[in-house]
Amino acid sequence: MTKENVEAAARAALEDVLDPETGISIAHLGLVYAVRYDVETRFLCVVMTFTTPACPAGEMILEGVQRRLGRVDGVAFVDVDLVFEPRWTPARITAEGRAELGWPPSPAASP
């Protein structure tokens, strides 16, 4: 397994973790800032945030991230680095997330 393959698999796996309040993937909400994998140690680190520091579903989301990433091939250890800078804004929501929310595409995505 290469670093790139595991990081791609981890990013895809994070699409399975839903925000319980919206039912939208945390990846599509733009809550995942970075995914880093070390081949030698098989250590996967995810840098992410919540929509708000006082997110009532925070623990549930973190448990879902740990559980789902623990099933990614090549990963022996998972660390979630929860950050609140930069702050999350709705501008981070992907095109997929906006569609799931029934929102129009972001103005920056328009031709």
For residue 35, the tally of other CB atoms under 10 A from its CB is 20
Task: Count CB neighbours of 31 within 10 A.
Answer: 25
Q: What is the mean pLDDT of residues 43-66?
A: 96
The whole-number pLDDT of residue 106 equals 75
| Mean pLDDT value across residues 58-84 | 97
Compute the distance between CA of residue 48 and CA of residue 110 in angstroms, rounded to an integer.
27
For residue 99, the model assigns a pLDDT of 94
Residue 29 near residue 93, CB atoms below 8 Å: yes
pLDDT of 41 above 60: yes
Q: Locate all alpha helices (DSSP H) within 15-103, ordered by sequence.
A: 58-69, 95-101
23 burial type by CB count under 10 A (0-12 exposed, 13-18 middle, 19+ buried): exposed
What confidence tier does 109 reach under pLDDT thresholds 50, 70, 90?
low
* Band of pLDDT at residue 85, cut at 50, 70 and 90: very high
CATH numbers and ranges of domains, the chain: 3-109 (3.30.300.130)
State the pLDDT at residue 108: 62
